[in-house]
Amino acid sequence: MTGHIGTMNAPNRKAPHPPIAARRPVISHHHGDSRTDDYAWLRDPSYPEVRDAAILDYLKAENAYREAVMAPLSELREQLFQELKGRLKDDDCGVPMKRGPWFYSWRFEPGAQYRIHFRIPFDEGPDGAPRTILDEPALAERLDYLRVRAVETSPDHSLLAYSVDTDGSERFAVRVRDLASGEDLPDAIPNTSGEPVWATDNRTLFYVRLDAQLRPSSLWRHRLGTPVEGDVEVYREPDPGFGVSVGLGADERYLFIRTGDHETSEVRFVPAGAPETEPRLIGTRRTGRLYEAEHRDGIFWILTDDTHPNRRLVAAPVENPDADNWQEKIPPSDSVYLTGLAVFRDWMLIEEREAGVKHLRIRHFADSAEHRIAFPEPAYAVHPAGNAEFDQAHLRIAYQSLITPPTVWDYDVVRRERTVRKVQEIPSGYDPSLYVSERDMASSHDGVLVPVTIVRRRDTPRDGSAPLYLYAYGSYGMNMDPGFSTARLSLLDRGFVFALANPRGGSELGKSWYEAGKLAHKENTFRDTIAVARHLAASDYAREGNMALAGGSAGGLTVGAAVNMAPDLFRVAAAHVPFVDVLNTMLDDTLWLTPGEYPEWGNPSESEAAYRRIEAYSPYDNVEPKAYPHLFVTGGLSDPRVTYWEPAKWVAKLRATKTDDNLLLLRMNMGAGHGGKSGRYEALHEVAEEYAFMMMAFGLLPESESSFRAKAPG
């Protein structure tokens, strides 16, 4: 299992290990089991604050150990960082988006980590003189972390509501700026989900407030110029498993208040011009029914899975929108999964999936004529982007693939013509003809075929000798479409093959694909990922034991489960903010996400079957005294989604239990959350470190890079 490590820039294997985390274990009792958790002490009881000095010291010791091990690779890491940075346009900018009398966009100043948001008067054209409305670099001064989530102008374009998170905890503070003076108003709203919505009176803001467990549990209304303490609670969700969100419809007639979990939802609406109106319900909550709504001309257009998992499109009058009045406009299909809806004045956009590929369908209101937009490649990632006006004749699209850089198109929905507005520039150079992308299907343990998309350089041999980097996710019905990565080129140009697996648990092949990878079927996700790896080896893309596996969050669970189940298959694995302490987390309903996660994983507190099922695959609970691949694990101290102690506990248990001498490193971000460091360049340092670790594991240190194609490692 150990990589072929040369003498030049080899990792420092003599660095002292951090002390094995050990204190008094915690013993709990569930369904007749007595469970002992030797590393439960790593959870600070004051969370979300972390004050325990012993915990902080331990995490710092893990970071110090990682830095000592990686120190001899500093030259390679810097080389990789410069490569990654060289592929980013220093003064990059967005495509101006028309909204009312302005064009809105963003840009980076040379060397800046964060964006400047600006607008240009419409009568000056998109190339006119920009007026800055929000300067993120100025906000980020003296901050270690900054994330701006919302940049929303009022309907009359005189005010700007924006939200900022300064520690990665996803607790956003909302501020309001007077765009005439450039000064912020006294109104400051803390502890929100970060998505304020304007009423059309230009004086009222709706926002979702986080509770003590950081759950988005209630909707509030704020009147500018009044104390936040006097804000009005518009809606409170009684079910701790349901989250609340709010959004303004495309025609700006109604605000929609959505509450739900992974399998049940309901929607209320408030007239945007009468913000103090009591919310009205569209369809009463029914367990197992999801729906979402948009409005046009007195009609609600609704996507729902009430009769079929792949959903249908219905319409209902605003006066009486209950489900009894839903009229079917597009019936459900066994092969086409309707995933999204956007409504414009004369036409609608329907996002859908068929045979694992995403499609965009245009449907005209006048005659119900419809067509799919044609795309140039068989496998790609696409989504609508920057469509701010209700009355427009084009659809702005963001498109990319494994070999095509992100491209922005304006698509004329009548003429069916595309106009290129931007192709991501790669300053250091990029020739797509050097790379080839392929799509394949792998047979899983039960004969089900699992999609996998592959990219490599054309001159990388397909004879099993190449190292392979496999990425997998497979949860929550989230789709992992094949998109471009400038960073990935550093691997491809060193002879790596990259593969993206779509195991069950995502919804790439429809809602049934998701259902087949959750609850009682969750192990399909892990078995599918292992099957893809074995198929890639059998297809001569790599060899078993000479692959890397990577995933983040619930994808980190996939990594953790796969290396428990098939450790010899992988040479190295990277688990980013991994959800690996599944059983303990799902037994703790005080955590933000746990109640809302029961439809995904089950409730092990109430169901012994769910308890046994999760216990059987939870990576932390299934660490065994055996050899594991090289492991690179990350976490974030302020991460509210996968709490910092999950990766920390997993690493501690692995360090005390595994029998090999392969490297096991933990990078705990002490000032960041689920997404790692903020700032476009700072984040690249983290990618460079992981890639250096991967190259070390495969024996591709600088002295051997140039000769790789002539003689593969191992």
Residue tagged 């609508």 (tokens): 384
- Closest CA relative to residue 213, chosen from 676, 670, 594, 675: 594
Phi, psi of 621 (to 5 degrees): -80, -10
- One of 154, 475, 674, 704 is an active-site residue; which one? 674
DSSP state of 591: S
What is the helix (H) or strand (E) element at residue 336, kind and residue range?
Answer: strand 336-343
Q: Following CA atoms 273, 343, 406, 679 in sequence, which dihedral angle do they give, to the nearest 10 degrees?
A: 20
| DSSP of 125-178 | -TTS--EEEEEHHHHHTT-S--EEEEEEE-TTSSEEEEEEESSSS--EEEEEEE
Residue pair 128/147 in contact (Cβ under 8 Å)? The answer is no
Phi, psi of 119 (to 5 degrees): -145, 160
- One of 553, 618, 638, 678 is an active-site residue; which one? 553
Q: How far apart are CA 542 and CA 469, in angstroms?
A: 10
- One of 167, 639, 678, 704 is an active-site residue; which one? 639
Q: At what angle do helices 682-697 and 53-70 cross, to 10 degrees?
A: 60
Q: How far apart are CA 482 and CA 641, in angstroms?
A: 25
What is the helix (H) or strand (E) element at residue 122, kind and residue range?
Answer: none
Residue 244 forms beta bridges with which residues? 259
Residue pair 583/575 in contact (Cβ under 8 Å)? The answer is no
DSSP state of 221: E
674 is catalytic: yes
Count CA atoms within 13 Å of residue 477 on its CB side: 17
Count CA atoms within 13 Å of residue 442 on its CB side: 28
- Three-state SS for 54? helix
Q: In 270-289, which positions are buried (b, 16+ CB within 10 angstroms) versus exposed (e)?
A: bbbeebeeeeeebbeeeeeb
Neighbours of 73 (CB within 10 A): 23
Cβ-proximal residues to 494 (8 Å cutoff; 6+ apart), any chain: 695, 700, 705, 708
Q: How far apart are CA 188 and CA 225, in angstroms?
A: 10
What is the helix (H) or strand (E) element at residue 231, kind and residue range?
Answer: none
Residue tagged 């070999």 (tokens): 403
Residue tagged 């409170």 (tokens): 236
For the record, the structure tokens of 576 come out as 């980013």
What is the helix (H) or strand (E) element at residue 186, kind and residue range?
Answer: strand 183-192
For the record, the structure tokens of 503 come out as 């195991």
Count CA atoms within 13 Å of residue 624 on its CB side: 12
DSSP E strands, 611-698:
630-636, 664-669
DSSP state of 279: P
Residue pair 6/53 in contact (Cβ under 8 Å)? The answer is no
Q: 119 in the Ramachandran plot: left (φ > 0), alpha (ψ -120 to 50) or beta?
A: beta
**In Å, how far are 100, 154, 231, 275, 556 from 201, measured between CA atoms?**
16, 9, 17, 8, 45
Residue 614 forms beta bridges with which residues? none
Instruction: Point out the residues that are catalytic.
Output: 553, 639, 674
